[in-house]
Amino acid sequence: MNDPWLTISKPAGVTANARRADEKHPFDYFWAVDVDGHCLFIYEYDKPLKLGENKPRLNGISIIDYEPESGDKKN
């Protein structure tokens, strides 16, 4: 099995380096590595999911809701 994170370098000066998981897929999924070297799987969406306490609980995986500041939003 291929490890998609092996080809992503730890970033310097930004929050994370990311690579789109599947260019042809209609959803925005990314493999990423943060400044601490943690492996991330990012799903970008337009409307808030508002999971609250309904977030899935996964062993060894954190699910974080992140709303970018206005300057961070993708074009």
Instruction: Flag whether pLDDT at 58 surpasses 80.
Output: no
Maximum average pLDDT range among 15-19, 40-44, 60-64: 15-19
**Cα distances (Å, whole numbers) of residue 46 to 22, 33, 40, 41:** 18, 22, 19, 17
Is the model's pLDDT at 33 over the cut of 90?
Answer: yes
Query: Quick one: pLDDT at residue 73?
Result: 46
Instruction: Give me the chain's average pLDDT, please.
Output: 80
Q: Could you tell me which residue, 56 or 4, shows the higher pLDDT? A: 4
Sheet holding 16-20, edge to edge: 16-20, 28-34, 39-44
Q: Count the neighbouring beta carbons within 10 Å of the beta carbon of residue 4.
A: 14
- The reply to whether the predicted model has a pTM over 0.85 is no
